[in-house]
């Protein structure tokens, strides 16, 4: 990650008061089905490569625009200690940083100029917020939208 990208990620996390993850857009698009439909993944996206340490992961899935508004990456873990709701879903929600009302504050906090170079950098990456708990975070089954995801 470049220094400017890391400063932008850190500033966004600070201003939005959320954890922000960055995925290269080429990795995001290579894993996703063409219309953004729910896609079952054989492995996590690179920033989440250690998510399965100490947890039994049931599945990974993602979706994006135009199918999902907003898109996101989801990890479904299995935890028998939570019976009968043994499936725990954590979601990482796609953010369009430039469309947020906090964008000027993010740029100011990062001490970078809002320029065509920053635009290219943003375009080359996907920013995700999370983990966020879905209403069905604890469930007795894998959430239907994730369970119905098809591999690419």
Calpha distance 21→10 (Å, rounded) = 10
Phi first, then psi, for residue 138 (nearest 5°) are -100, 120
Q: pLDDT tens-digit profile of 2-40?
A: 899 999 999 999 999 999 999 999 999 999 998 889 999
Confidence at residue 23, expressed as pLDDT on a 0 to 100 scale: 97
Write out pLDDT tens, residues 51-82. 877 778 999 999 988 888 888 999 999 988 88
Domain ranges of the chain: 3-151
pTM assigned to the model: 0.91
């Amino acid at each position: 990650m470049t220094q400017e990208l890391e400063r932008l990620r850190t500033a966004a996390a600070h201003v939005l008061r959320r954890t922000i993850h960055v995925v290269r857009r080429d990795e995001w698009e290579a894993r996703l089905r063409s219309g953004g439909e729910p896609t079952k993944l054989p492995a996590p996206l690179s920033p989440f490569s250690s998510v399965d340490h100490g947890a039994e992961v049931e599945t990974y899935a993602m979706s994006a625009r135009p199918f999902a508004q907003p898109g996101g990456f989801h990890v479904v873990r299995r935890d028998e200690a939570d019976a009968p709701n043994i499936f725990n879903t954590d979601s990482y929600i796609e953010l369009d940083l430039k469309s947020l009302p906090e964008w000027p504050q993010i740029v100011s906090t990062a001490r970078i100029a809002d320029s065509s170079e920053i635009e290219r950098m943003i375009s080359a990456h996907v920013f995700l917020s999370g983990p966020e708990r879905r209403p069905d975070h604890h469930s007795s089954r894998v959430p239907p939208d994730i369970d119905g995801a098809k591999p690419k």
